[in-house]
Structure 1
Amino acid sequence: MYKKGLYAISILLITAAFSSIYADHLDKFIETQMKMRKIPGLSIAILRDGKVIRSRGYGIADLESGSPANAATVYEIGSISKQFASEAVMLLVEEGKANLDDPIRKYLPQNAPESWQKITVRNLLNHTSGLKDWTEVKEFSYRREYSAEEFIDLAKGFPLGFQPGENWLYSNTNLPLIGIIVEKASGRSFEEYVTERIIRPLKFLSIRFKHQEDVVTNRAAGYVLRSGILKNGEPFRPKVIAASGGILASAQDLAGWWEAVMKGRVVKQTSLDKMLAPTKLNDGRSIAHGFAFFTDVFNDHKLIQHFGSTVGGFGSIVRYYPKEKITIAVIGNLEDGGIGAEYIAKRVADVYIPGAFADGMKNVPDARPSQTQKDLQILRDIADGKSPQEMSANFAARVSEVFRKQLGDNLKQMKSFSYLGSEKITTDHFMLDATADEFVRYRMTLAGKSVYYYFRMNKEGKIGWIVFEE
């Protein structure tokens, strides 16, 4: 018994030591990324099957007061708010108060145009409506509240980009209309319904709707970069667009809420299955986007995610790995399209799920070394301004000079070039190119770091695109 006790203690000490090493490594990485990207403050939360394994803040939540970001800092979550709207609709479907295949004009004010008659609730949820993004409307102002009728007047000026179900296009117009539908079907305001049916029962105290005039404890200030200088974000009023981007949360509560959704604590499993199912277009094509959820796969690790950013000055992401039961939430107070948060989240995932990002992938025996050398030569040719015959016509026409120059710089510093394996593209991969067939991945080792080139091969054996990551 004594020896077993010593063994157990030693295992705990070793685990604690590794956890400390991981923590130090992550802290250094996150702080470096924040400095490079000029993100003032950021919070991160990592949950494994309901248990918080990491939750902390970095940097400054409010530059004017100097308040530090911490685990309780509250941020705008941007488009991750769309999940609350989609869950609200599914609850109404469960109650028999709405139907996914109803035409949206059944629920909208009378000024909804005839051209929207074929658009269904489902089309709004999965972004197949054909509606253009309201952010393209010149007359729109973030500083005023719009009624449902006024919002429809703004959005209906654009012709449909395609007929409902014919294509997929992410549009911020879809979810505000869902918010209006929730109000009509429930007989309550969108905020009241979501708060009472989704937020309050789960008891995540930081999650709430944004109101510019409210005093919110631990709220971060948002920032944007203008000519490399940090400026205050736009103080937008999100009532009618709340279903698209009007919710506040801490990173830990956001991760906890996301996990609660995935465990069936918000909508029934049958509803969740519909929300996560790939979208089928009229012609049979499949898009790995459900009802306000993106799915994807990297190196056989499936993930469910959504990004967020707001003109108020915030960027966010949540990633959930169902097999590993790990949820990662990253929110920062810089509007950068969520790019910084996404990159940090990928690298964080790789620490806890080795191989969830390319850094954690191991070199595999290369059974086709001659092809690896051919692909390296293709990279050299592209850097030299050529368009090798192995490139698809679309890729050859769109490859940028920035990509060529960066590739050339990396080739000059290259120490080694190794094959990481291939991965067939399935309906679980988020991929808008219907010709895409396979990823072939390579690691290029430079002085002090590695970078990665993923050849996206199409069904004709041509290179449809090359994805670069570092």
Structure 2
Amino acid sequence: MKIQRFLFSVCVVQLLLMTGSCSPYTPQADYGQIEKTVDSIIKPYIDSLSIAGMAIGVMREDSIIFSKAYGFADLEYEIPLPANASFQIGSITKQFTAVGIMQLAEKGILDLDENISEYIQFEHKEYDPTIRQLLNHTSGIRGHNNLPGFRPLLMREIIRDTMVRLVEKEPFDFEPGTVMLYSNTGYVILGLIIEKLTGQTYEEYTTEHILSKSGMDNTFFCDRTAIRKFRAHGYNFVDGGKYRAEEPYYYWTYSAGALCSTIEDLLKWNKALHDGNAVLNKVSYAELIKPGQLENGVKLSYAKGLQRYRKNGREVIAHGGSGSGILAELMYFPEKKISLVTLENSYRRENWFAIADALLDELIPVTLDKTAYEGDLSILQGTYEGNWQVRIENADNHLLIENESATIDTLSYLGEARWSFKGNEYFFTKGKGGEQYLHMDMIYALLSFTKKE
């Protein structure tokens, strides 16, 4: 869902920014032009109640060039969504946690390549991952949310170290550094490390050293019972029905996803983080946004609390958030110093690919496969084994992929020996022994498949 959500957001950005044949707008497009087109995209979903509400904000350098809310903050009373509404932002919280860790590294308080047991009690019988591996989701620590032993703790605010005691007894999902698999557990542990090393609660540290320094006066730690003005209520759209979303247990989403914020504050944050030294110096910032890599040298799209990759020809640094009744996306396009944030108080199961395709067709007409792969595609075809079996075929100089569902799809060539389909990217590498690998980069996970001989 997070990858699908990104497709919509990038459409809006390209509408606002692209020049030439891909967009009817120049970089100087006025507010009225932008509003008219964004209205035409969003309002049909609002009018049909396909979504409850959405707020959108765009900043170019220091100036907010578009900010508007659509739909409702509360469906029962039909209360319009204000532009300054606050939303849960889910996993966008992770970049604040990553910045907190980088601040401590900047001060020499911790080392990214040190094992986590140096900073927090962690006694696993086999592995001891590093801080860096927690940051880029390559630690292998089993997720706590699905452990039977964690469920009785969900409604209780006991010390969070209890969760660590649970996961350290579990086998790892993989050897640290060998696979990338998105992990909320890793970011909860990072929050605990911040507390251990600073003597402050995670909330106190983040407020003093990150939010205050960024001028984020309307960002706060979500609470299930507190009354907040202009807070959007979340809704789940599932099985053809609309349901008021249950509030998450923020005590446990914690440093992995417990922040609430607004369009304006998140634009302030992108300015403070990406275009200044309000929270990190230049060296630490460069390390923050540097994509990780696996032990075998395969590079990731995930850095530290942020993804960094190219989409539709433009570099993007981004992260999304999703959960009970919310979808959020925060992106930064460094080449143009453009920030985009979208916050939505709906969580849908409908086909977001169809929505994204409609937006792309209308706003960003492109011709796929503009460049041709110059190598021999026939050496890439074959059957690959991994989490499931994948078949690659070469047909008329195009790669076809057949997954476990037995559907056959055409991969679009992106250039630089990478292909894409529905938000995922595919590339091939060779091992030291000549073995052929297919890698599926889902941004939030990197899966590898080995070619059968």
Equivalence for 2:137: 127
Equivalence for 2:302: 289
Change (3 A) 1:154 1:59: farther
Q: Would the aligned equivalents of 2:57 and 2:68 in 1 still touch at CA under 8 Å?
A: yes
Equivalence for 1:377: none
- TM norm structure 1: 0.72
> What is the one-letter code of the residue matched to 2:213?
P
Change (3 A) 1:168 1:36: farther
Question: What is the DSSP-based 3-state SS (H/G/I as helix, E as strand, rest coil) of the residue aligned with 1:38?
Answer: coil
Equivalence for 2:147: 137
Q: Whole-Å Cα distance in 2 between the matches of residues 67 and 41 of structure 1?
A: 10
> What is the one-letter code of the residue matched to 1:275?
L
Equivalence for 2:224: 212
User: Map of 1:184-223 to 2, 5 A cutoff?
Assistant: 184-223=196-235
Equivalence for 1:82: 94
Q: Whole-Å Cα distance in 2 between the matches of residues 361 and 288 of structure 1?
A: 26
Question: What is the DSSP-based 3-state SS (H/G/I as helix, E as strand, rest coil) of the residue aligned with 1:71?
Answer: coil
Question: What is the DSSP-based 3-state SS (H/G/I as helix, E as strand, rest coil) of the residue aligned with 2:66?
Answer: strand
Q: Would the aligned equivalents of 2:52 and 2:72 in 1 still touch at CA under 8 Å?
A: yes
From 124, 127, 141, the counterpart of 1:114:
124
User: Map of 1:47-446 to 2, 5 A cutoff?
Assistant: 47-109=59-121, 112-115=122-125, 117-138=127-148, 139-140=150-151, 142-263=154-275, 264-311=277-324, 313-336=325-348, 359-363=363-367, 389-390=393-394, 395-399=401-405, 422-425=413-416, 437-439=417-419
Deviation at 1:154, TM superposition (A): 3.5
Change (3 A) 1:359 1:101: same
> What is the one-letter code of the residue matched to 2:404?
R
Equivalence for 1:434: none
Deviation at 1:166, TM superposition (A): 1.4
Q: Would the aligned equivalents of 2:124 and 2:168 in 1 still touch at CA under 8 Å?
A: no
> What is the one-letter code of the residue matched to 1:178?
L
Question: What is the DSSP-based 3-state SS (H/G/I as helix, E as strand, rest coil) of the residue aligned with 1:315?
Answer: strand
Change (3 A) 1:234 1:156: farther
Deviation at 1:236, TM superposition (A): 2.4
Q: Whole-Å Cα distance in 2 between the matches of residues 338 and 183 of structure 1?
A: 40
> What is the one-letter code of the residue matched to 2:364?
G
> What is the one-letter code of the residue matched to 1:360?
I
Change (3 A) 1:84 1:115: farther
> What is the one-letter code of the residue matched to 2:257?
G
Q: Whole-Å Cα distance in 1 between the matches of residues 370 and 111 of structure 2?
A: 52
Question: What is the DSSP-based 3-state SS (H/G/I as helix, E as strand, rest coil) of the residue aligned with 1:236?
Answer: coil
Change (3 A) 1:15 1:128: closer
Change (3 A) 1:454 1:155: closer
> What is the one-letter code of the residue matched to 1:272?
Y
Q: Whole-Å Cα distance in 1 between the matches of residues 354 and 290 of structure 2?
A: 23
Q: Whole-Å Cα distance in 1 between the matches of residues 301 and 238 of structure 2?
A: 34
Deviation at 1:137, TM superposition (A): 2.0
Change (3 A) 1:26 1:395: same
Q: Would the aligned equivalents of 1:100 and 1:121 in 2 still touch at CA under 8 Å?
A: yes
Deviation at 1:158, TM superposition (A): 3.0
Deviation at 1:232, TM superposition (A): 1.9
Q: Whole-Å Cα distance in 2 between the matches of residues 270 and 94 of structure 1?
A: 9
| Cα distance per residue 1:227-265 (max 9 Å; x no partner) | 221212222232243110000001221122123201132
Q: Whole-Å Cα distance in 2 between the matches of residues 277 and 365 of structure 1?
A: 28
Q: Whole-Å Cα distance in 2 between the matches of residues 295 and 15 of structure 1?
A: 23
Deviation at 1:102, TM superposition (A): 2.1
Change (3 A) 1:364 1:127: closer
In angstroms, what is the RMSD of aligned CA positions?
3.9
Q: Would the aligned equivalents of 1:308 and 1:338 in 2 still touch at CA under 8 Å?
A: no
Question: After the TM superposition, which of the residue ranges 266-275 and 454-463 deviates more from structure 2?
Answer: 454-463
Q: Would the aligned equivalents of 2:178 and 2:296 in 1 still touch at CA under 8 Å?
A: yes
Q: Whole-Å Cα distance in 2 between the matches of residues 210 and 262 of structure 1?
A: 25
Deviation at 1:156, TM superposition (A): 3.0
Which one has a larger percent helix, Structure 1 or Structure 2? 1
Change (3 A) 1:30 1:146: farther
Q: Whole-Å Cα distance in 1 between the matches of residues 29 and 314 of structure 2?
A: 27
- In structure 1, stretches of 5+ residues that fail to align are 1-13, 351-356, 369-386, 408-420, 426-436, 442-451
Q: Would the aligned equivalents of 1:80 and 1:308 in 2 still touch at CA under 8 Å?
A: yes
> What is the percentage of aligned positions where both structures have the same residue?
24
Deviation at 1:31, TM superposition (A): 1.8
Equivalence for 1:45: 57
- In structure 2, stretches of 5+ residues that fail to align are 1-25, 373-390, 431-435, 443-453
Q: Whole-Å Cα distance in 1 between the matches of residues 132 and 369 of structure 2?
A: 46
Q: Whole-Å Cα distance in 2 between the matches of residues 362 and 197 of structure 1?
A: 44
> What is the one-letter code of the residue matched to 1:390?
N
Q: Would the aligned equivalents of 2:234 and 2:346 in 1 still touch at CA under 8 Å?
A: yes
Q: Whole-Å Cα distance in 2 between the matches of residues 81 and 453 of structure 1?
A: 23
Change (3 A) 1:342 1:49: farther
Deviation at 1:189, TM superposition (A): 0.5
Q: Whole-Å Cα distance in 2 between the matches of residues 227 and 133 of structure 1?
A: 27
Question: After the TM superposition, which of the residue ranges 26-35 and 157-166 deviates more from structure 2?
Answer: 26-35
Change (3 A) 1:281 1:221: same
Equivalence for 1:430: none
Equivalence for 1:447: none
- TM norm structure 2: 0.75
Q: Whole-Å Cα distance in 1 between the matches of residues 242 and 164 of structure 2?
A: 34
